[in-house]
Chains A and B, each alone.
Chain A
Amino acid sequence: MNLYTLNVIQPDKMSLWKYIKESEKIGNLFIFSSIWQWLKFPIFALFLICLFCSIFIFVFGTIEEISSDSPKWDKVIFAPMTPFIIIFPLSVILIYYKSFITPKKLERKITRFIEDNLSFAENIKKRTLANYNIRYKGFDLLLDYTISNNKRLF
């Protein structure tokens, strides 16, 4: 089992492609500076995926209906909407939870850990949501939240 420290990343200046690549790595946590940034990255990426699925369904649906004896064109029109009706809203809810609620919950848990167990420290400096510098009896320690490779953060 490997432990990975959590990388807190602000994806404001990233390209969409880099965002998709970085989101695959274990231990990356994206903190969006605004709702606009959130719409720009995960939601836009999701929109593109749904659009691709819709086009795929439309093209293959059309081919199949053309070759059939009694084509049902209403199916060809409505079936491509499925990704936007089912997948898109569900994914938006999940991504919102991951982007805004999970970091807050995590921060609360870490704060509680520090309050309960490290009250003796002389100086605690927060570097990021999941990384702290601690000074105790003149020694400098780093406190980091970690995840293991067999357990994704979300």
Chain B
Amino acid sequence: MVCTLYYDVEKEDYSVINKDGYLTEDFIYKWLDYTKGKSSCCNLNIAPHSIIAVFPLKKANDVKRSIDELIYLPTKFHLIPCSFDIENKTV
């Protein structure tokens, strides 16, 4: 199972996602620095505009901790979490 949090960045802010749409090297180092060795982050992956938590369907462990971490990360890295209409995606 994959749990995804979509995020956006401030307009004209290229510190996280560069003009080509890729994650910047600086940001990747910061991300690795923060997540390294943390058990709650071992399921988490970062991509441009999304943070993804991957869980096995069977025997998933620490889902709550990972999701708590997932929703903390936008605050930590100054990202803007996107909201969804409960019916339609409104990113």
A residues lining the B interface (CB < 8 Å) = 3, 5, 109-110, 113, 116-118, 120, 123, 125, 133-137, 139-146
Contacts and interface: CB of A to CB of B under 8 A. Distances in A.
A124 B8 CA distance: 23
Main secondary structure of the interface of B (DSSP, over half): mixed
Nearest to B74: A139
Interface string B42-74: 000000000000110110100110010011001
Q: Which 10 A-B pairs have the closest CB atoms?
A: A117-B63, A140-B84, A139-B71, A142-B4, A146-B2, A125-B86, A144-B2, A140-B83, A143-B3, A141-B3
Given A141-B3, A143-B1, A144-B4, A118 B84 contact: no
B17 interface: no
A133 B57 contact: no
Interface of B: 1-6, 54-55, 57-58, 60, 63-64, 67, 70-71, 74, 81-84, 86-87, 89
A125 to B, nearest CB: 5
B84 A142 contact: yes
